Amino acid sequence: MKRTACFGAVAALLTACAGDAPAPPALPNAPQYTASPVSLPEAPVSDDPAGAAQRFVAGGEMPALWWTLFRSPALDALVRQALQGSPTLERASARLRQAQEDFDARSGATRSPSVDAKLSANRIDIDPQAIGTALPLNTPFNLYLARVSVSYTFDLFGATRNELAALGSEVDRQRYDLEAARLMLAGNVVTAAIREAQWREQIALTESIVALQGRQLAITERLQQLGTAAQADVVAQRLELAQTRAALPELTRQMEQVRHRLAVYTGQPPGAAQLPQFRLADLQLPRELPLAVPSELARQRPDIRAAEALLQQAGARVGVATANLYPQLTLSANVGSIGSSNGGDLFASGSGFYLLGASLAQPIFRGGELQARRRAAIAAYEQAGAAYKEVVLQGWQNVADVLRALQADARRLGERSDAAAQAQRLHDIVAARYQAGGVSHLALLDAQRKLQAALLDRTQAVADRHADTAALLQALGGGWWQQEAPPAAPR
């Protein structure tokens, strides 16, 4: 009775030390991404395909190959090439395999009894005079020992189960990290291709403006020869032409640097990469944009799923720390045979033996170590919970920012398309009047500047609309869950 009471008191004490399991973090209610609804123009904002109207489709299906919505075979091929050759994905894949092997190794070591075989041979020489007695065998002699040992530790309080759960959560995290890396890589390739198309078009526009200004310079020089234009007009036109030409090296540098990034994304050296050339006209703006509700975003974004796996891992480690407060029961068995050479009766050749045992280990006093480790595990769980909540909030912010950007992009493209059309009309009128001598050369230069700025601004607006569309598809998770999922780690 006293022994039973003692065990009961110890169990009660351990239960008090263990305490209640930590509660998961509570997420705020988010019925929508933005404080006010985001509306897109229902009509096209310009006459060209880049100004087509877009609309959100609540609950629409996100394709796994979301970049194909731009209807560009070259872009599709480049993204696939990047997903196959990226060193970043190779590293992420290797981490996933390592986590899976760690899980398999620990699972095999804990779920089944451990069985080991051992064979030893020893040469023994004893001086009988040193111990003052005769030995029942001749010395020196050979002693052989062959045995098989079996041991198994029972998971009475869930230490092994929680440890395996933590390793399984690490496998899940690495899998989601791999999907997040794939999503980011695809998004980077699409954005870089759009920016390359932007710089290429801006270079072409600048070159056409250079040609236009060159023709205007020739007209101005001819008018000077006829005496209807001053030398200052010729110098001013040459200055304008030189300033426009000076913009070309910077535009070329930006385009080439984007192509260098594309080469690295696809796993190729920049000096030997085989890359297509992109133009904005070759990219079709997606008309329908699938939009998940905020409550579904946590299941679609791989970075949020990775943070959730870390939270589960931290919770499992709390379980391990709690179980370490309780006893551990281990059963063991040894079966073997002993043999000797050179004669004697101490060990008959092939003598067999067996040993059965059980051990019960109960921590009694560790200076508060185990309780402190459990409190540390709980603090780590709370950190993981805060990090999970932060990632969810950042995901909602990411989508909200892109929604507002798309709303602004549509309006800005409409305004800049109208400005470019008006600037082109103004330039044509002023150029005709200047050639006829009706306006000054300063008026012509001002019209040229306005046309150049309007065309470059419109190109920027077109590229931004494409890039922000890609950013929304990426922010919503990119449809990775539509792929055939690999088998989950066993629990």
| Domain spans of the chain, in order of start | 20-113+158-326+369-482
Identify which has the larger pLDDT, 27 or 395.
395
pTM of the model: 0.83
CA 371 → CA 21, 228, 361, 363, 366, distances in Å?
A: 14, 96, 17, 11, 9
Helix (H) or strand (E) run with residue 371 in it: helix 369-435
Residues 6+ apart with CB under 8 A from 145: 118, 119, 120, 121, 122, 336, 337, 338
Rounded Cα distance between 380 and 378, Å, is 5
Identify which has the larger pLDDT, 89 or 110.
89
Contact, 307 vs 487, CB < 8 A? no
Residue 378, pLDDT score: 92
How many Cβ atoms from other residues are within 10 Å of residue 281's Cβ?
Answer: 12
pLDDT in tens, 303-340: 999 999 999 999 999 999 998 888 888 788 888 777 76
Residue 183, pLDDT score: 96
Strand segments, DSSP code E, in 89-170 are 114-124, 141-153
Residue 412, pLDDT score: 95
CATH architecture designation of domain 20-113+158-326+369-482: Up-down Bundle (1.20)
Contact, 159 vs 324, CB < 8 A? yes
Residue 3, pLDDT score: 41
- pLDDT exceeds 50 at position 1: no
- pLDDT exceeds 50 at position 14: no
Highest averaged pLDDT of the listed ranges 100-104, 179-183, 330-334: 179-183
Residue 108, pLDDT score: 78
